[in-house]
Amino acid sequence: MRLDPSAKLAFVLLMWTCAFLLDWSVNLVLLLLLILARYLVPAYRPQSSRSRKSFDKFLAYGITIVVLLAGVNALFLQGGSVVFSVGGLDFHQEGLMFGVRTAARLLLLSVSILLFFASTPLPEFIHFLQLKGLPPQLVLVLLLTLHFLDQLPARIHQVFVAQEARGAPVRAGVVSRAQALFSVISPLVLSSIIESIDRGTALEVRGFLHKPVLASVPLPTERSASTLTLVFLALAICVLAFTVLRWLLAL
Amino acid sequence: MAASIVVDRLSLQYSPEASRALAGISLNIPSGTCCAILGPTGAGKTTVLHAIAGVLGKHHPESISDGTITVAGHTYTPLPKTILFPSVALGLQDSYVQISGVRETVYDEVLFTLENLGESLEEGKSRIPPLLKELGIDHLANRRPTTLSGGETQRVALATILVARPEILLLDEPATALDLTAKERLQHILKSLRQRTTAVLTDTHVDLALSVADQIVVLHQGMILFNGTPKEFLGQMDRFTTVLPLKGWSRALQFMLPSSRQMSPSQLGLAERLGLL
């Protein structure tokens, strides 16, 4: 089952509105629902094994960041009662809650957009942008950026292998990885720039910047999809209105 | 319909500080013929193609150039400032980047070019299947373009530009990453395009050039060392052993001549074409 990218984008907008305007507990629930959607809602299943792996890896890193963020804030932001102590270090409630709030917000923002890209094939997204009448120059820049991001893990691996072949201890440990960063970044950036220029030229010499496209690949622009878009947009407006109202009543 | 290319005393520097990429080169490529530009890396082969296609004039407006380029009857002094697609099509050295990745099947990837040109879907239906068949990739029409082998990608990349029916086809080192079978297939395709399209290809090796080209140009450090027919080139081969990997070829040709009975049909055809038999 596919879902119109406009409905998915409206959903991302709704999630972002919630992330910025609603309480952390709501954000946490929404985050859990999003993670469930990745497994249960067909339209949100990652389109390839690579995007599935990337999404799962991001979640694993995300959870680590939540724990770190909460821990560091609980340690240094002193206020409220001490929740627990480890080796003479006190972890405070206020800092802990601040860390969880911030992490929940950041994760909701990133997971919602990541789920969109993981479940929307690049061709479908680019075609959607073209059909919506976005300037071809802008679509070209977006396309090159997304290609770059898509190829990034494979390219980093290539550069690591190349550096290892030269005897650089790039995987020996965290410190070695950090030291190797400079030797990795330079070839990574250079090769990416060269490929982006070539890819851009290749598209240009195929007339990409000439005219807007015709609809060759029909997108699933069903009535239900556009209704869904409107529902998500309406919900985002409702969240915004609710927040404004709550602020006015509190005055 | 093929068109001619005339390059007249073209000089080019990418910037005032850079050394000259092209030093007053002149070329005359009649319509419907195939010209191979040979030379070592950094000789200026890609620069010539990009100058003719309009890529150089558009992407390097700061470059300093002199001379004229006449493409399909239009004279540009010194360089075309816009990309001349669809009358001039350029195939890049890395055919993988030629695949846009914005369409999910080979057929749609080829159709994407027509969409960019504002052609109708019906036009695509009438043009694409015969083209894919001609290039021997009709069985790949429903495959994902990013899952193909090097040779297949090369032919799909060729289809994506040939579908626009260019008058001039410029191919930058099209045989670099190809195995022998894929190279032979490319030779066959280039031969079949003769008369319909004026082709200019670059290469660092001579085998493809000798098999398909009517005219061979040897470029070195932005200057033309040789401009003539394949037969004339063979006659002066010794002159270029320092700039082109020819030693193996000279030996192969010497080896081929006395044993023509053992040659494969394609080798025989090549030897006949070059007047070696």
CATH number at residue B63: 3.40.50.300
Closest chain A residue by Cα to residue B102: A123
Nearest beta carbon to residue A216 from set B94, B97, B111: B111
Cα A173 to chain center, whole Å?
27
B76 and B20 in one domain?
A: yes
DSSP letter string, A157-174: HHHHHHHHHTT--TTS-H
Q: What is the rounded CA–CA span in Å between residue B42 and residue B222?
A: 8
Q: pLDDT digits over A30-42, tens only? A: 999 999 988 888 8
Q: Residue B59 and residue A201: Cβ atoms within 8 Å?
A: yes
pLDDT band, very low/low/confident/very high, at B258 (cuts 50, 70, 90): very low
Share of chain B above pLDDT 70, in %: 88
Chain B positions in Cβ-Cβ contact with residue A123 (cut-off 8 Å): 101-104, 108
pLDDT at position A44: 86
| Chain B residues near any Cβ of chain A (below 8 Å) | 53, 55, 58-59, 83, 85-86, 89-90, 92, 94, 97-98, 100-104, 108, 111-113, 115-118, 120-121, 124, 160-161, 164
CB B156 within 8 A of CB B110: yes
Whether the CB of A134 is below 8 Å from some CB of chain B: the reply is no
How many contacts, defined by CB atoms under 8 Å, are there between A and B?
A: 83
Q: Is residue B238 part of a domain?
A: no
With H, G, I as helix, E, B as strand and everything else as coil, classify residue B178.
coil
Q: Please report, to the nearest 10 degrees, the dihedral formed by the alpha carbons of residues B12, B17, B18, B22 taken in order.
A: 20
Would you say residue A218 has pLDDT above 70? no
| Distance between CA atoms of residues A221 and A224, nearest Å | 8
Q: Reply yes or no on whether the pLDDT at B56 is more than 50.
A: yes
| A18 and A30 Cβ atoms separated by less than 8 Å | yes
Q: Using CA coordinates, name the residue in chain A closest to B59.
A: A201
Domain-embedded: residue B60: yes
Side chain identity, residue B191: K
Strand pairing class (B34-38; A89-92): unpaired
Same domain, B268 and B256: yes
B154 and B55 co-located in one domain: no
pLDDT reported for residue B78: 83
Sheet with strand B74-76: strands edge to edge: B20-29, B5-13, B64-71, B74-76
Minimal CA separation from B220 to chain A, in Å: 24
The reply to whether B28 and B127 lie within a common domain is no
B36 and B123 share a domain?
Answer: no
pLDDT (tens digit per residue) in A113-122? 999 988 888 8
Q: A122 contacts in B (CB within 8 Å)? A: 101-102
On the question of pLDDT at B274 being above 80, the answer is no
d(CA A103, CA A24): 9
CB contacts of A134 in chain B (<8 Å) are: none
Tokens 């950094």: give the residue. B42
Q: Which two tokens stand for residue A37?
A: 């959607």
Q: Among residues 151-210 of chain A, which lie with CB inside 8 Å of chain B?
A: 195, 198-199, 201-208, 210
* Residues B113 and A204 sit within 8 Å (Cβ to Cβ): no
Rounded distance, CA A137 to CA A139, Å? 5
Please list the residues that pair with B43 across neighbouring strands.
none
**What are the contacts of A22-29 at 24+ separation with CB within 8 A?**
A22/A239, A22/A243, A24/A97, A24/A100, A24/A101, A24/A104, A24/A105, A27/A101, A27/A104, A27/A105, A27/A108, A28/A100, A28/A104
Closest in A121, A195, A203 to B100, CB measured: A203
Partner B contacted by A66 (CB < 8 A): no
Q: CB–CB of B92 and A216 under 8 A? A: no
Please tell me whether residues B136 and B100 are part of one structural domain.
Answer: yes
Q: pLDDT per residue over B242-252, tens digit each?
A: 777 665 555 55
Closest by Cβ to B85, choosing from A126, A143, A207:
A207
Residue B66 lies in a domain: yes
In terms of DSSP bridges, do strands B168-171 and B198-203 run parallel, antiparallel, or are they unpaired? parallel
Determine the residue of chain A that is closest to B103 in CA distance. A123
Q: What residue numbers bound the domain in which B251 lies?
A: 246-277
Q: Do A203 and B161 touch (CB under 8 A)?
A: no
Orientation angle between helical segments B150-162 and B106-116, nearest 10 degrees: 30
d(CA B103, CA A214): 13
Q: Are residues B158 and B181 in the same domain?
A: no
pLDDT higher than 90, residue A234: yes
Q: Which of A122, A195, A208 sits opposite B116 (nearest CB)?
A: A208
Asked whether the predicted pLDDT for residue B8 surpasses 90, the reply is yes
**The pair of three-digit structure tokens given for residue A130, joined into one six-digit string:** 């073209």
Task: Give the span between the Cα atoms of B156 and B19, in whole angstroms.
Answer: 36
Q: What is the DSSP string of A77-132?
A: S--S-EEEEETTEEEEHHHHHHHHHHHHHHHHHHHHHHHHHHHS-HHHHHHHHHHT
Residue among B12, B23, B9, B37 nearest B227 (CA): B37
Determine, yes or no, domain membership for B240. no
DSSP B99: S
Q: Rounded mean pLDDT of chain A?
A: 82
Q: Is A140 on the interface with B (CB under 8 A)?
A: no
pLDDT at residue B141, as a whole number: 92
Is the distance from CB of B106 to CB of B145 less than 8 angstroms?
A: yes
- Same domain for B68 and B199, yes or no, is yes
Contact B96, B145 (CB under 8 A): no
Residues B228 and B183 in one domain: yes
Q: Which secondary-structure segment (H or E) carries B184? A: helix B180-193
The domain total for chain B is 3
Give pLDDT, residue B272. 67
The whole-number pLDDT of residue B266 equals: 65
Q: Which residues 27-56 of chain A have a CB within 8 Å of chain B?
A: none
Q: Which residues of A touch B90 (CB under 8 A)?
A: 205
Suggest the residue from A149, A196, A201, A205 to mutate for an interface test with chain B (most B CBs closer than 10 A): A205
Interatomic CA distance for residues B22 and B11, integer angstroms: 5
Q: Are residues B81 and B1 in the same domain?
A: yes
Which residue's entry shows tokens 């038999």?
Answer: B277
Residues B4 and B82 in one domain: yes
Q: Any idea which residue has 């340690």 for tokens? A: A75
Is the CB of A202 less than 8 angstroms away from the CB of B97? yes
* A210 contacts B102? CB cut-off 8 A: no
Q: Which of B165, B186, B201 is the last residue of a domain?
A: B165
For residue A129, which amino acid is it? Answer: L
Least confident residue range of A233-242, B154-163, B212-221, B259-268? B259-268
Helix (H, G, I), strand (E, B) or coil at B38: strand
For residue B137 the two structure tokens come to 């990739």
Omega cis (within 30) before B78 = yes
Who wins on pLDDT, A52 or B255?
A52
Instruction: Write the pLDDT tens digit of every residue in A75-133.
Output: 888 877 888 888 888 888 888 888 888 888 989 999 999 999 888 888 888 888 888 88
**Omega before B86 cis (within 30°)?**
yes
Res. B17: pLDDT tops 90: no
